[in-house]
Structure 1
Amino acid sequence: MKIKNYISGDTFLWALVIILLVFSFLPVYSASANLAYIGQGTGNTTKYLVKHFGHIIIGLGLLYAVHKIPYRYFRGLSVLLIPVVVILLIYTAMQGTVMGGASASRWMTVPVIGMKFQTSTFAFVVLMAYVAKYLASIKDKEVTFKQSLLPLWLPVGIILVLIVPFNLSTAVLIFTMVLLTCFVGGYPIKYLMSIIGIGFIAMTLFVLTAKAFPGVFPNRVDTWVSRIETFGGEGDADTNYQVERAKTAIANGYPFGVGPGKSVTKHVLPQSSSDFIFAIILEEFGLIGGLTILALYLFFLFRLIIISTKAGTVFGQLLVIGVGFPIIFQALTNMAVAVNLIPVTGQTLPLISSGGTSILMTCMSIGIVLSVSAKRDEEKVQEKTKDEEMNPLDVLSEAI
């Protein structure tokens, strides 16, 4: 029985996904010790491993289901889901969640099952599919900036406005990926520059408003400023503490690490199983382990480029870029934060960090990419069958 008979799409991409998911058990199980002892914790790390396993199984099930859907259907689905996404973001914003004194309305609780769900991550995937659909529809057409405002930039603007106050890093990542997809899709550069200018002005007005009315978004802007100051050597004690503990973990790793499960820093590093999991990987598996993980993500990027290049339609190409490339950008961001190359952002390491929403939405994005790849494989099979059915003279005629 061959597994290949039951799955479709790029085999290398499937292999990378499985390798990263299987590897994730080691650092997540080890780093979850931090959570197990917080507050009234009993020190039981097994439940976190079981929880992570459950997320992976659901994620793989979602990936498998999505990759069986012909990718052309995502055109219509993206349009239908944009209003749903807006409603979910508004509902999430109305939760009024505050963490550490700062506004952090990022999650909603799914009814019945009680699982927390980060709506901005789902909005990211839907929006990128929508942007790819729009750009494909105007390919080789002359479109003015005014004509694109309503169908393209209005949905983008609304979604960003609903995300920025509570999750700046995700909003910046979304905005960057929209610009990149538009650039690749042939959208005029002069219009993109106008959008960047509008975005800068809008962000400035938001910061000034938040400063003038601090009760609306408690300490949100102060948190951003603190993280930037920490990166510059200043900042508040909590953010400094995270960065310093991450540096300690990395320093302990040396070339080959202290060994799986033997991290000492995991007990004192906040978010060690999610935002700072790469620091734990470097401590337990060393520089060699860290570079291996980086290489896997870069190979992942290489496969995305191959799939996008071979896609049979403009929509397919842009869809792979729109939903696939953010996975790599997020991974590189997480690694850069862990080694203190950029300020703390709160982005997880895709397919490795713990967290249900991160795993599910990453798997859904990969499922979409594999759907594009599967269509190309199907076309190749059809072409091969056609060639086999044709006699030599027909083949020569086709070649001419």
Structure 2
Amino acid sequence: MLRVFKNLKGDKAIWGVVALLALFSFLPVYSASTNLVYVNGDGTTLGHLVKHAVLLFLGFGIIYAVHRIPTHYFKGLSIIAMPIVILLLIYTLTVETRIGGVTANRWIKIPLVGVNFQTSTLAAVVLMIWIARYLTKIKDVKITFKESILPLWLPVALVVLLILPENFSTAAIISFMALVLCFLGGYPLKYLFAMVATGIVFAGMFLFVLFKAPEVLPQRAGTWKSRIETFIHPEQADKDDLHQLTLAQIAVAEGGIVGKGAGKSVMKNLLSQSTSDFIFAIIIEEYGLLGGGALLFFYLLLLFRILVVAHSSKTVFSKLLVIGVGLPIVFQAFINMAVVVQLFPVTGQPLPLISMGGTSIWMTCMAIGIVLSASNKKENLEEQSQGIEDTNPLEVLSGQL
């Protein structure tokens, strides 16, 4: 065990923050799992706690394994993984799975072990690596939009369109992060502005169809419409649509400044997604504004260290890679928190490293492992000495602006 700790590389602050978040997650998960046991009749609270512990243990195994991989190896791995991910996404749309009372084509069951795997989370990480690799490749080349369609935008479009029918929020986050990464990577601004303008037009058309003829859209279009209407006009929304948000707001209000104490939440027995989508509401009810603020602080600290790692990385690929896989972790956390306090429509995004679940934890750990790989100063110096890359992306960005 001591040998394992000695072999930990990379940013120690990130290791510390991730470990603290993981350790803290046991308290709200154990408390909120009573909903699964006494309302849904699913297992025991100890059983859910053990399951969460096993998932986190495997997650930290993923972090350890991935952070030992030299950063530039991810370029080649993305080339291998991208076609596999697209095939998995296509297959996922043909498989209907029911998890936590939700039936959708989002998961596939891993043979032998019987674990459900959400392919969109893997696709998001692989796509960010793919984009970082491509932007690094063209950093000194004047590129046209036509030349970038096949190697860049086709994979982005395929991933987003294959995820969109069953998971709108994840598709939206991936699209946003792809544009942010391209902007930071020096992709021509005129093309990005044109794509954003086109996207706004299509979004307007989509919303028009969603509210006027939702039956022509995918099956989950009704859910999207209901969530948007509930967020914009809560006073006119159906009581069933408001139920979860109302319970979350009650939990937040009951928490006050210091909360009711660990395990003393009442709303956990009523919130159907108290262990995942709305676990932040349970945290505030039990630990109050101080507990919620402390959790927010650690996510902000994680964001700060991710930006520090990106800034201190010696290669363009490492910088873009850290931004591409690191920012979505914190971005997802902010969205989850914003939903609970009704600053954002319900999205179904879990709280990274806190919510109970398998795929989310594992893919978050994979992304953290990649960030830690890039933060290994010794490796960065070796890459730079080998002449892999020597251009600062800040210079590229300043040239664009």
281, 284, 290: which one aligns with 1:282? 284
- Residue 398 (structure 2) aligns with: none
1:354 equivalenced with 2:342 (yes/no): no
* 1:371-399 deviation line (CA, Å, top 9, x unaligned): 0111x24456999xxxxxxxxxxxxxxxx
- Residue 397 (structure 2) aligns with: none
- Residue 26 (structure 2) aligns with: 25
Output the amino acid matched with 1:71: T
Structure 1 range deviating more: 22-31 or 181-190 = 181-190
* 3-state SS in 2 of match to 1:116: strand
- Residue 237 (structure 2) aligns with: 235
323, 331, 352: which one aligns with 2:333? 331
1:96-135 to 2 correspondences below 5 Å? 96-97=96-97, 104-135=104-135
Q: CA deviation at 1:163?
A: 0.6
Assess, with a 3 A threshold, how the Cα gap between structure 1 residues 41 and 184 changes in structure 2: closer, same or farther: closer
Assess, with a 3 A threshold, how the Cα gap between structure 1 residues 332 and 381 changes in structure 2: closer, same or farther: same
- Residue 154 (structure 1) aligns with: 154
293, 305, 323: which one aligns with 2:307? 305
Instruction: Tell me how large the CA RMSD over aligned residues is.
Output: 2.3
CA distance in 2, matches of 1:200, 1:178: 16
Output the amino acid matched with 2:17: L
- Residue 390 (structure 1) aligns with: none
CA distance in 1, matches of 2:83, 2:209: 27
Q: How many residues align?
A: 380
CA distance in 1, matches of 2:217, 2:102: 11
CA distance in 1, matches of 2:103, 2:34: 27
Output the amino acid matched with 2:286: E
* 1:304-330 deviation line (CA, Å, top 9, x unaligned): 011001111100000000000000100
CA distance in 2, matches of 1:19, 1:247: 26
Output the amino acid matched with 1:18: A
1:1-400 to 2 correspondences below 5 Å? 1=2, 4-41=5-42, 44-97=44-97, 104-203=104-203, 214=215, 217-218=218-219, 220-232=220-232, 233=234, 234-374=236-376, 376-378=377-379
**Is the Cα contact below 8 Å between 1:103 and 1:217 reproduced in 2?**
no
Output the amino acid matched with 2:6: N
Structure 1: unaligned runs, 5 residues or longer: 384-400
Output the amino acid matched with 2:342: N
CA distance in 1, matches of 2:150, 2:383: 40
CA distance in 2, matches of 1:224, 1:286: 31
Assess, with a 3 A threshold, how the Cα gap between structure 1 residues 351 and 147 changes in structure 2: closer, same or farther: same
Identity among equivalent pairs (%): 51
CA distance in 2, matches of 1:151, 1:35: 45
Assess, with a 3 A threshold, how the Cα gap between structure 1 residues 41 and 154 changes in structure 2: closer, same or farther: closer
* 3-state SS in 1 of match to 2:375: helix
Q: Under a length normalisation based on structure 2, what TM-score does the superposition of the two structures give?
A: 0.89
Assess, with a 3 A threshold, how the Cα gap between structure 1 residues 202 and 321 changes in structure 2: closer, same or farther: same
Assess, with a 3 A threshold, how the Cα gap between structure 1 residues 100 and 223 changes in structure 2: closer, same or farther: farther
Assess, with a 3 A threshold, how the Cα gap between structure 1 residues 316 and 381 changes in structure 2: closer, same or farther: closer
CA distance in 2, matches of 1:101, 1:25: 23
CA distance in 2, matches of 1:241, 1:121: 28
* 1:23-42 deviation line (CA, Å, top 9, x unaligned): 00000000011111234446
Q: CA deviation at 1:231?
A: 1.1
CA distance in 1, matches of 2:64, 2:101: 40
Assess, with a 3 A threshold, how the Cα gap between structure 1 residues 13 and 28 changes in structure 2: closer, same or farther: same
Structure 1 range deviating more: 194-203 or 352-361 = 194-203
**Is the Cα contact below 8 Å between 1:311 and 1:373 reproduced in 2?**
yes
**Is the Cα contact below 8 Å between 2:70 and 2:379 reproduced in 1?**
no
Assess, with a 3 A threshold, how the Cα gap between structure 1 residues 140 and 378 changes in structure 2: closer, same or farther: closer
Assess, with a 3 A threshold, how the Cα gap between structure 1 residues 205 and 341 changes in structure 2: closer, same or farther: closer
Q: Under a length normalisation based on structure 1, what TM-score does the superposition of the two structures give?
A: 0.90
Assess, with a 3 A threshold, how the Cα gap between structure 1 residues 209 and 338 changes in structure 2: closer, same or farther: closer
Output the amino acid matched with 2:240: D
CA distance in 2, matches of 1:3, 1:62: 13
**Is the Cα contact below 8 Å between 2:258 and 2:288 reproduced in 1?**
yes
CA distance in 1, matches of 2:269, 2:191: 49
**Is the Cα contact below 8 Å between 1:263 and 1:280 reproduced in 2?**
yes
* 3-state SS in 1 of match to 2:215: coil
CA distance in 1, matches of 2:129, 2:255: 40
Output the amino acid matched with 1:73: Y
Q: CA deviation at 1:189?
A: 1.6
Output the amino acid matched with 1:294: L
CA distance in 2, matches of 1:28, 1:324: 24
**Is the Cα contact below 8 Å between 1:207 and 1:221 reproduced in 2?**
no
Assess, with a 3 A threshold, how the Cα gap between structure 1 residues 285 and 122 changes in structure 2: closer, same or farther: same
Larger radius of gyration: 1
Q: CA deviation at 1:16?
A: 0.4
Structure 2: unaligned runs, 5 residues or longer: 385-401
Assess, with a 3 A threshold, how the Cα gap between structure 1 residues 241 and 148 changes in structure 2: closer, same or farther: same
Structure 1 range deviating more: 3-12 or 69-78 = 3-12
Output the amino acid matched with 2:250: T
